[in-house]
């Protein structure tokens, strides 16, 4: 059976900027000797997504599915009915704590769990439920770290493969190796164009071709399913020529979709139709940028420009969604791996934008319009040698867009004050001016605006000249600053404007 998986945003409880933590097998918890857990029924191979503790007689309404349900049996009166409801809710396993209610796990509960195939774990008296939950969260954190490292290494491997003389077979080979399966590039007519990796059974190959046929002829989409003992996935490339990437693996790990998404972006870039020699050279320059080359090194091959850098947040957090955004804006030059074109600092990290941000590079002549589901920050047009400055502009524009709720914000030159983040400036102003009362702050503002003129300030505020002097002297004492220093006056003026 195959099924189309639409590209929908992540649920509200699941952050889109990072992948969810991989589940942990129950056997990993059972292996922790410090917990002293004992499996009484069922299998230890079930995956655990979280822990939930409940002493409700019927916990069904409070379960999401996939959890290890912990209980001491306070309201356990009918074990058979209780287990049936837990299984119906989709819980992965049941943990039963002995004492203070029961000295041993009830035999009826063990029999019911064995009959329903629900794993039952005995929790000894000296092991609090919170210790079990903490152990699971730690195991999930370790699994997530391992998965993120695997994804990062795969992204680097795929980017390196894309820079080789025969990039398409190299990318397919790197993808198949990283996923431990087979990667196939299908043409618009459904025939294999290129393939790499382990051979798969004929039944699985046929199921993969069938899955590819489920995808729409145009537009980014993905489909997943099982067939021939393999986990199958298909991704339509964004080049507009009907090419599709098919993947067959023996298992499916949480990071596989992200790794395949990177391959989709690169293959879309490498197989886009009607690409002349100049475009190929520019794409090669982009790959060098993604691998850490300085803008000055590729300025000649990338072209003088002018260019525009775009920062974006939104989508579903995968490079596959980034490819869709790039196609909508009409550019194959997209980076969804966390380093902006030309903005990488020491160690390859971007100084302005958070890791995982989507960045795009496109000719300044190409219009940038708001896109559904995305928030965009757009730089001013720059030459290729100024991409780092444009990247910083786009990052600040994106932050302003997110702060104001706008779909798109363009960089606008605004002097030195515009280079400072408004929220940071406001926070600094509040802290700096906190010793001053409102009359003192207002007097200081008027006095600075009139270049320290005592008489003019007195007239503007309709107070006596001596009152102005007393207030300014008080401000200097409370702030601990020399108000005759022009640097101090400048800082206070910006603070008063930003408060």
DSSP string across 358-426: EEEEEETTS-----TTEEEEEPPPB-GGGHHHHHHHHHHHHHHHHHHT-SEEE----TGGGGS-HHHHH
266: left (phi over 0), alpha (psi -120 to 50) or beta: alpha
Contacts of 174 (CB under 8 A, 6+ apart): 154, 157, 158, 160, 161, 263
For 274, counting Cβ atoms within 10 Å of its Cβ (0-12 exposed, 13-18 middle, 19+ buried), the class is exposed
Distances (CA, A) of 150 to 138, 157, 371: 18, 10, 31
Distance CA 281, CA 63 (A): 55
pLDDT at residue 104 greater than cutoff 90: yes
**Residues in the chain, how many?**
499
pLDDT at 135: 95
Could you read off the pLDDT of 132-181 as tens digits, one per residue? 999 999 999 888 888 888 888 888 888 888 878 788 899 999 999 999 99
Q: Could you give the 3-state DSSP secondary structure of residue 111?
A: helix
Are 74 and 106 in contact by the 8 Å Cβ rule? The answer is: no
Q: Quick: pLDDT tens for 323-350.
A: 667 767 777 666 655 443 333 332 333 3
Max avg pLDDT among 287-291, 375-379, 420-424: 375-379
Paired strand residues for 252:
none
* Residue 88 CB neighbours (<10 A): 11
Q: Is 439 or 415 the better-scoring residue by pLDDT?
A: 439
Q: Which of 115-119, 146-150, 286-290, 380-384 is modeled with the greatest confidence? A: 115-119
Which two structure tokens, joined as six digits, stand for 297?
Answer: 């090194």
Per-residue tokens: 369: 């319009």
- What integer pLDDT is reported at residue 222 of this predicted model? 78
pLDDT digits (tens, 9 = 90+) for 351-371: 333 444 688 888 887 788 888
Neighbours of 62 (CB within 10 A): 12
What is the per-residue pLDDT for 388? 78
Name 314's Cβ contacts closer than 8 Å, sequence gap at least 6.
Answer: 16, 321, 373, 374, 375
262/183 Cα distance (integer angstroms): 13
What does the mean pLDDT of the chain come to? Answer: 80
CA-based nearest residue to 72, from 146, 123, 148: 123
Topology given in CATH for the domain delimited by 141-271: Beta-Lactamase (3.30.450)
Average pLDDT of the segment spanning 435-456: 91
Average pLDDT over residues 217-237: 80
Q: Identify the residue with better confidence: 221 or 376.
A: 376
Q: Given a cut of 70, is residue 39 above it in pLDDT?
A: yes
| Band of residue 300 on the pLDDT scale cut at 50, 70, 90 | low
Instruction: Name the token pair of 366.
Output: 């190409």
Question: pLDDT class for 497, splitting at 50, 70, 90?
Answer: confident
Q: What are the backbone angles phi and psi of residue 223, rounded to the nearest 5°?
A: -145, 150
For residue 286, name the pLDDT band (cuts at 50, 70, 90).
Answer: low
Query: Using one digit for the tens of pLDDT, what is the confidence trace for 186-212?
Result: 888 888 888 998 899 999 999 998 888
Nearest CA to 479 out of 469, 491, 468, 467 is that of 491
CA atoms 19, 20, 21, 26: torsion sign: negative
Closest to 317 (Cα-Cα) out of 237, 369, 374: 374
Predicted TM-score of the model (pTM): 0.50
**Cβ 248 vs Cβ 202: under 8 Å:** no
Beta strands in 287-349 (DSSP E): 307-314, 334-335
The residue that leads in pLDDT, 455 or 221, is 455
Share of residues in the chain with pLDDT > 90 (%): 31
Cα angle 202, 243, 366 (rounded to 5 degrees) comes to 160
What's the confidence (pLDDT) of residue 382?
A: 86
Average pLDDT over residues 271-276: 56
Q: Which of 149, 207, 154 is nearest to 180 (CA)?
A: 154
251 SS3 class: coil
Mean pLDDT for the stretch of residues 97-126 = 94
Nearest to 2, CA basis, from 221, 329, 220:
221
CA-to-CA separations, 140 to 11, 136, 167, 305, 336, in angstroms, rounded = 20, 6, 36, 46, 25
Contacts of 265 (CB under 8 A, 6+ apart): 238, 319, 320, 322, 323, 326, 334, 336
**pLDDT surpasses 70 at 128:** yes
Higher pLDDT, 120 or 163: 120
Burial of 33 (0-12, 13-18, 19+ CB in 10 A): exposed
Better-predicted residue by pLDDT, 329 or 239: 329
Cis peptide before 306 (omega within 30 of 0): yes
Q: Spelled out in words, what is the top-level CATH class assigned to the domain 38-126?
A: alpha beta
Provide the CA 34 distance to its chain's centre, in angstroms.
Answer: 35
For position 149, what pLDDT does the model report? 86
Per-residue confidence band for 213, with pLDDT thresholds at 50, 70 and 90? confident
| pLDDT at residue 12, as a whole number | 33
| Mean pLDDT of all residues in 125-129 | 94
Which of these, 108, 111, 110, 56, lies nearest to 85 by C-alpha position?
56
CA distances for 296 relative to 39, 163, 305, 340, 388, angstroms: 62, 19, 13, 15, 10
Q: What is the pLDDT of residue 57?
A: 93
Work out the average pLDDT over 18-38.
Answer: 84
**Dihedral, 190, 196, 201, 203 alpha carbons, nearest 10:** -20
- Of the candidate CATH numbers 3.10.129.10, 1.10.10.2840, 2.40.160.10, 3.40.50.720, the domain formed by 422-498 belongs to 1.10.10.2840
* Higher-pLDDT residue of 63, 347: 63
Report the Cα–Cα distance between both ends of the chain, in Å, rounded.
Answer: 61
């Amino acid at each position: 059976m195959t099924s189309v998986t639409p590209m929908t945003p992540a649920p509200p409880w699941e952050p889109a900027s990072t992948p969810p933590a991989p589940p942990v097998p129950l056997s990993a918890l059972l292996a922790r000797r410090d917990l002293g857990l004992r499996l009484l029924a069922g299998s230890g191979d079930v995956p655990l997504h979280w822990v939930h503790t409940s002493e409700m007689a019927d916990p069904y309404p409070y379960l999401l599915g996939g959890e290890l349900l912990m209980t001491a049996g306070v309201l356990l009166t009918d074990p058979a009915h209780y287990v049936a409801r837990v299984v119906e809710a989709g819980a992965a396993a049941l943990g039963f704590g002995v004492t203070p209610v029961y000295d041993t796990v009830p035999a009826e509960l063990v029999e019911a769990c064995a009959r329903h195939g629900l794993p039952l774990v005995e929790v000894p008296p000296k092991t609090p439920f919170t210790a079990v939950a903490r152990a699971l969260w730690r195991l999930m954190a370790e699994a997530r770290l391992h998965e993120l490292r695997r994804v990062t290494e795969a992204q680097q491997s795929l980017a390196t493969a894309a820079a080789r003389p025969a990039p398409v077979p190299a990318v397919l080979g790197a993808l198949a190796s990283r996923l431990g399966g087979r990667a196939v590039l299908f043409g618009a007519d459904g025939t294999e164009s290129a393939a790499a990796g382990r051979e798969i059974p004929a039944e699985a190959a046929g199921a993969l071709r069938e899955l590819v046929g489920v995808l729409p002829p145009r537009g980014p989409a993905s489909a997943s399913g099982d067939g021939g003992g393999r986990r199958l996935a298909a991704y339509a490339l964004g080049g507009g020529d009907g090419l599709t990437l098919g993947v067959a693996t023996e298992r499916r790990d949480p990071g596989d979709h992200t790794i395949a998404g990177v391959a989709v972006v690169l293959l879309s870039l490498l197989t886009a139709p009607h690409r002349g020699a100049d475009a190929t050279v520019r794409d090669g320059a982009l790959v060098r940028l993604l691998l850490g080359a300085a803008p000055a090194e590729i300025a000649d091959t990338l072209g003088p420009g002018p260019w525009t850098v775009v920062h974006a947040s939104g989508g579903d957090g995968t490079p596959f969604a980034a490819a869709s955004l790039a196609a909508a804006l009409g550019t194959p030059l997209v980076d969804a791996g966390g380093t902006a074109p030309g903005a990488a600092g020491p160690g390859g990290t971007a100084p302005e934008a958070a890791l995982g941000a989507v960045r795009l590079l496109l000719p300044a002549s190409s219009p940038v319009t708001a896109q559904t589901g995305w928030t965009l920050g757009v730089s001013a047009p720059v030459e290729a040698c100024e991409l780092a400055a444009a990247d910083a502009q786009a990052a600040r524009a994106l932050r302003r867009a997110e702060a104001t709720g706008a779909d798109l914000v363009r960089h606008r030159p605004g002097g030195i004050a515009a280079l400072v983040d408004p929220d940071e400036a406001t926070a600094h102003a509040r802290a700096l001016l906190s010793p001053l009362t409102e009359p003192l702050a207002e007097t200081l503002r008027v006095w600075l605006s009139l270049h320290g003129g005592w008489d003019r300030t007195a007239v503007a505020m309709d107070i006596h000249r001596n009152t102005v002097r007393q207030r300014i002297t008080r401000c200097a004492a409370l702030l601990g600053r020399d108000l005759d220093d022009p640097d101090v006056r400048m800082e206070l003026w910006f603070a008063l404007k930003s408060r």
